[in-house]
Amino acid sequence: MIIVDRISEMQALMRQYHREGKTIGFVPTMGYLHEGHAALIDRARQENDIVVLSVFVNPLQFGPNEDFARYPRDFERDRHIAEQHGVDVLFHPEAGEMYPGPLTVQVVVKARMDVLCGRSRPGHFDGVATVLTKLFHIVMPDRAYFGLKDAQQVAVVDGLIRDFNFPIELVPVPTVREADGLAKSSRNVYLSPQEREEAPALYQALRAAAAAVDGGERSADAIRRLVKEHIEAHTHAEIDYVEVCSYPDLAPLETLHGTVLVAVAVRFASARLIDNIILELPKAHRQED
Ligand code: AMP
């Protein structure tokens, strides 16, 4: 595995791979790798000649009161996991390499950002879209792998790739969970033992929503209520949002139809957690339903 921390070195290496006719799969992360990241790497490994992993905690996507400074970091561990999963190139730039001075141009996300985490974290997706624009130009991948745990991020990246004509195939990867259903996250290490015990209630609430929809429930309000009540009954967390919207457009829904995202974010004392499920329903709502 080659470890690169310079942008110019990375671009030279990537151009060489392209000249050799090799396909490049790219997995962008903020490190502190877990099985969720590994699932992205494994998928990229199956589908490409070269797998590039980036580990970069991007200051631009954190708000002033968020956890940038204390975000967990362990490069030696990440490097070991990357190697075990067959990563070819690990890109690990310093913040000063990515942002040598104030930006003169920034990417601003115009749609799919005024709901869910975009509403709770102003500027977050501008930071994500800006760093990904840079990373896409640095890595020049054929495919880029993103986890559906961050479904809104997948929707925003889909827009970025289309609108800016990146010749990149977006590959969404299903959420990897702990045995008790909790979505794997680098931030789970913040949880106290009691919060860790309560946290699976998020996914349980989403499963209950899926079961209600299976049973014929089509009211977005009823689904929101059900998820909220389950979380309130089983955790001490403060609910940030429970939303039901179309996917990937993230438009609000009153009646469920088509591809539907049910998403939740909660604040425990020590960590903000998110989770979601995507449900496939018949496209048009029929009168007789
Ligand atoms: P992060 O390091 O949190 O920025 O995540 C890097 C990538 O890994 C993103 O595309 C995430 O959506 C994805 N990811 C994080 N957690 C999971 C998970 N539990 N299952 C699948 N993908 C995940």
User: What pLDDT, in 10s, does the model give residues 19-77?
Assistant: 999 999 999 999 999 999 999 999 999 999 999 999 999 999 999 999 999 999 999 99
Say which range, 79-83, 112-116, 124-128, 159-163, has the weakest mean pLDDT: 112-116
pLDDT recorded at residue 11 = 98
185 lines ligand 1 (CB under 6 A): yes
Is the pLDDT at 1 greater than 50, yes or no? yes
- State how beta strands 238-246 and 259-267 pair: antiparallel
CA distances to 16, 83, 140, 141, 268 from 12, rounded to whole Å, are: 6, 22, 11, 13, 44
pLDDT recorded at residue 283 = 84
pLDDT digits (tens, 9 = 90+) for 212-253: 999 999 999 999 999 999 999 999 999 999 999 999 999 999
The packing angle between helices 7-19 and 124-139, to 10°, is 50
Residue of minimum CA distance from atom 5 in ligand 1:
29
- Mean predicted confidence (pLDDT) in 77-96: 98
Give the position, in ligand 1's atom list, of the atom nearest the Cα of 30: 2
Residue of minimum CA distance from atom 8 in ligand 1:
37
pLDDT recorded at residue 172 = 98
Residues in the chain: 289
| pLDDT-based confidence at residue 288 (cuts at 50, 70, 90) | very low
Q: Give dist(CA 289, CA 285) in Å, integer.
A: 7
Domain 2-173 has CATH 3.40.50.620: yes
78 lines ligand 1 (CB under 6 A): no
175 lines ligand 1 (CB under 6 A): yes
124 lines ligand 1 (CB under 6 A): no
Is the pLDDT at 96 greater than 60, yes or no? yes
- CA 35, 148, 185: angle at the middle one, nearest 5? 40
Q: For the chain, give the mean pLDDT.
A: 96
Is the pLDDT at 81 greater than 90, yes or no? yes
- Mean predicted confidence (pLDDT) in 81-95: 98
Q: Give dist(CA 62, CA 107) in Å, integer.
A: 15
132 lines ligand 1 (CB under 6 A): no
Could you tell me the residue ranges of all domains in the chain? Answer: 2-173, 186-280
| pTM to 2 decimal places | 0.96
At the second CATH level, the architecture of 186-280 is: 2-Layer Sandwich (3.30)
Residue 201 Cα to ligand 1 middle (Å): 20
Is 37 assigned a catalytic role? yes
Residue of minimum CA distance from atom 13 in ligand 1:
147
- Mean predicted confidence (pLDDT) in 100-106: 97
pLDDT recorded at residue 113 = 87
Q: Give dist(CA 113, CA 156) in Å, integer.
A: 7
- CA 100, 106, 108: angle at the middle one, nearest 5? 150
Q: Which long-range contacts (CB under 8 A, 24 or more apart) does 225-229 make?
A: 227/262, 227/264
DSSP 35-46: HHHHHHHHHHHH
Which residue bears the tokens 């995507």?
278
Q: Which of 34, 37, 202 to mutate to test the pocket of ligand 1 (most atoms within 8 A of CB)?
A: 37
- Mean predicted confidence (pLDDT) in 5-26: 98
147 lines ligand 1 (CB under 6 A): yes
- Mean predicted confidence (pLDDT) in 120-126: 94
Count of CB atoms situated within 10 Å of the CB of 31: 22
Q: Give dist(CA 29, CA 19) in Å, integer.
A: 26
Residue 96 Cα to ligand 1 middle (Å): 24
Q: Which of 91, 146, 150, 178 to mutate to test the pocket of ligand 1 (most atoms within 8 A of CB)?
A: 150
Please give the share of the chain, as a percent, with pLDDT higher than 70: 98
150 lines ligand 1 (CB under 6 A): yes
| pLDDT-based confidence at residue 289 (cuts at 50, 70, 90) | very low
Is the pLDDT at 157 greater than 70, yes or no? yes
Is the pLDDT at 12 greater than 50, yes or no? yes
